[in-house]
Chains A and B, each alone.
Chain A
Amino acid sequence: MDAILIQLLNGLDKGGAYALIALGLTLTFGTLGVVNFAHGALFMLGAFCAVLFNKVLTISAKVKDESITFFDAYKETPYLELWWGDTGATIIDYSVPLSILFVIPIMLLVGVIMERGLIKHFYKREHADQILVTFGLAIVIQEIIRHFFGANPIPTPAPDVVAGSAAVGAFFGLNENLVYPWWRLIYLAFSLSIIGAVFAFLKYTTFGMVVRAGMADRETVELLGINVQKRFTIVFGIATVVAGLAGAMYAPILPPDYHMGMDFLVLSFVVVVVGGMGSLPGAVAAGFLLGLLQSFASMNEVKAIFPGIDQIIIYLVAVVILLVRPRGLMGREGVFED
Chain B
Amino acid sequence: MKKILSSTPLIMLIFSVVVLSAPIWLAPLGANYPDLLQKFAIFGIFAVGYNILFGLTGYLSFGHATFLGIGSYTAVWSFKLLTMNILPAIILAMIVSGVFALVIGFLSLRRSGIYFSILTLAFAQMAYSLAYSVLTPITNGETGLQLTQQDPRYLDAIAGIPVKDGLPSTNLFGTLIKSMDGYFGFYVAAVVLIVAFYISLKIFRSPFGMKLRAIKSNQTRMKYTGFNTRPYLLTAFVISGMYAGLAGGLLASIDPLAGAERMQWTASGEVVLMTILGGVGTLIGPLLGATIIKYFENIFSALNSNELHKIFDFLPEGMENFMVTVVGPFVGEGWHLTLGLVFMIVVIFLPGGIMQGISHLFGFIKRIFGMGDKPAPVDDTVNNDSVSKGGAS
Contact = CB atoms under 8 A, between A and B. Distances in A.
A135 B269 CA distance: 9
Interface string A215-227: 0000000000000
Contacts of B130: 308, 311-312
Contacts of B18: none
Interface stretch (B163-171, B232-240, B335-343): B335-343
B60 A128 contact: yes
Interface string B91-125: 00000000000000001001111110111011101
B115 A326 contact: yes
Contacts of A144: 337
Contact of B129 (A140, A308, A326): A308
A228 interface: no
Interface stretch (B148-156, B183-191, B344-352): B344-352
Interface stretch (A85-93, A171-179, A316-324): A316-324
B132 interface: yes
A266 B268 CA distance: 13
A307 B134 contact: yes
B324 to A, nearest CB: 15
A224 B136 CA distance: 62
Given A35-B114, A311-B133, A312-B129, A266 B121 contact: yes
A139 B123 contact: no
A147 interface: yes
Contacts of A136: 340-341, 343-344, 347
A147 B334 contact: yes
A319 B133 contact: no
Contact of B122 (A128, A140, A262, A318): A318
Contacts of B118: 269-270, 273, 318, 322
A121 interface: yes
Nearest to A137: B344
B348 A133 contact: yes
Nearest to B340: A139
Given A127-B113, A143-B334, A308 B122 contact: no
A125 B60 CA distance: 15
Given A131-B114, A140-B341, A322-B115, A315 B122 contact: yes
Interface string A135-152: 111111011101100000
Size category, A interface: 35 or more
A140 B344 contact: yes
B125 A121 contact: no
Contacts of A131: 60, 114, 117
Contacts of A127: 113-114
Given A135-B269, A146-B334, A266-B265, A319 B347 contact: no
B138 to A, nearest CB: 12
Contacts of A140: 337, 340-341, 344
A311 B340 contact: no
Given A140-B337, A337-B113, A133 B126 contact: no
B143 interface: no
A180 B269 CA distance: 38
B355 to A, nearest CB: 16
Contacts of A121: 348
Interface in A105-153: 118, 121, 125-129, 131-133, 135-140, 142-144, 146-147
Contacts of A319: 107, 119, 122-123, 126
B276 interface: yes
Interface residues of B, number: 41
A7 B34 CA distance: 52
B304 interface: no
Contacts of B42: none
B266 interface: yes
A190 interface: no
A132 B113 contact: no
Contacts of B110: 323
B336 A143 contact: yes
A143 B125 CA distance: 23
Given A127-B114, A139-B340, A311-B134, A323 B126 contact: no
Contact of A143 (B112, B114, B132, B337): B337
Interface in A292-338: 307-308, 311-312, 315-316, 318-319, 322-323, 326, 336-338
Contacts of B341: 136, 140
A301 B330 CA distance: 49
A126 B135 CA distance: 38
Contact of A336 (B113, B135, B334): B113
B251 interface: no
A273 B337 CA distance: 29
B272 interface: yes
A315 B344 contact: no
Contacts of A133: 344, 347-348
B329 interface: yes
Interface string B303-346: 00000000000000000000000000100011011011101100
19 contacts: A128-B58, A132-B343, A132-B347, A136-B344, A143-B340, A147-B329, A270-B118, A270-B121, A273-B118, A308-B130, A311-B130, A312-B126, A312-B130, A315-B123, A318-B118, A319-B119, A323-B107, A323-B111, A336-B114
Given A118-B348, A127-B113, A318-B118, 14 more contacts: A35-B114, A131-B117, A135-B343, A136-B340, A136-B343, A137-B344, A139-B343, A143-B334, A266-B121, A307-B133, A308-B130, A315-B129, A318-B122, A337-B113
